[in-house]
């Protein structure tokens, strides 16, 4: 076998071992769920503030954001 084929197989095997090593084998335990459900662990910890920022942005920029459609920029939608 040529050296580049060996290197390719070695690299592929190493990548497969790294991917298999990252798999989680145990689910989240019941006593850990309370910690993960805290407000500061959420992707969006303050949904009201985010909604207000989005409304302001699409009203001022006259662009469509995640919520609503394109506006005129005057804020009177």
pLDDT at residue 2 is higher than 80: no
pLDDT of residue 54: 85
- What whole-number distance in Å separates Cα of residue 71 and Cα of residue 52? 15
pLDDT of residue 12: 92
Cα atoms in the 13 Å half-sphere on the side-chain side of 63: 5
Instruction: Please return the burial class of 58, using the count of CB atoms within 10 Å of its CB with bins 0-12, 13-18 and 19+.
Output: buried
- What whole-number distance in Å separates Cα of residue 27 and Cα of residue 40? 21
pLDDT of residue 3: 72
C-beta of residue 69 within 8 angstroms of C-beta of residue 59: no
Higher pLDDT, 6 or 73: 6
Q: Which of 6-10, 16-20, 49-53 has the lowest mean pLDDT?
A: 16-20
pLDDT of residue 69: 55
pLDDT at residue 66 is higher than 80: no
């Amino acid at each position: 076998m040529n050296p580049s084929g060996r290197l390719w197989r070695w690299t592929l095997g190493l990548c497969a071992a790294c991917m298999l090593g990252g798999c989680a084998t145990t689910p989240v335990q019941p006593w850990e769920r309370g910690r993960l459900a805290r407000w500061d662990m959420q992707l969006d910890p303050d949904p009201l503030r985010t909604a207000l920022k989005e409304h302001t942005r699409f009203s001022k920029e006259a662009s469509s954001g995640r919520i609503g459609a394109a506006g005129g920029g005057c804020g009177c939608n």
